[in-house]
Amino acid sequence: MNNFRGNFSGSYTYTAPAGTTPISLTVNVNTSGASNSAGIMEARWLNSASGIIKDWTRISGTNITWGRDGGSGMIDSELATIPFITGSSKIEFRGAGWGYTGTLISYTHY
């Protein structure tokens, strides 16, 4: 499906290169939220036939509450290393809530 690339938002699937054993991905996650909404990044792990190995799991998110500034919004940026689960060769990402983007920094395989 998709190969390694830089920035993404919305739904994106990373597929490990053919002939490799995938170990992990390092992703820079940027989330933002307003009022009581959160910007969330989730991932799920798929096998080569796109069967689900592990369903949607929250990787990162900023939960904003009504604070002194009225909850106008905050931005969170962090690195996340996401392991491939045994039997998986694809990791699908999606955003939920107010806003998110990701940047694939690196992948590890052998």
List the chain domain ranges: 7-109
- CA-nearest of 106, 108, 110, 109 to 27 is 106
The predicted structure's pLDDT at residue 72: 54
Q: How far apart are the C-alpha atoms of 60 and 110, rounded to whole Å? A: 27
**pTM of this structure:** 0.79
Cα radius of gyration rounded to whole Å, the chain: 15
The predicted structure's pLDDT at residue 2: 46
Per-residue pLDDT reduced to its tens digit, 28-50: 888 776 656 667 788 999 999 99
SS3 string of 44-102?
Answer: EEECCCCCEEEEEEEEEEEECCCCCCCCCCEEEEEEEEEECCCCCCEEEEEEEECEEEE
Which parts of the chain register pLDDT below 70?
A: 1-6, 33-38, 61-75, 97-99
The predicted structure's pLDDT at residue 44: 95
Fold of 7-109: Hypothetical Protein Tm1070; Chain: A (2.60.290)
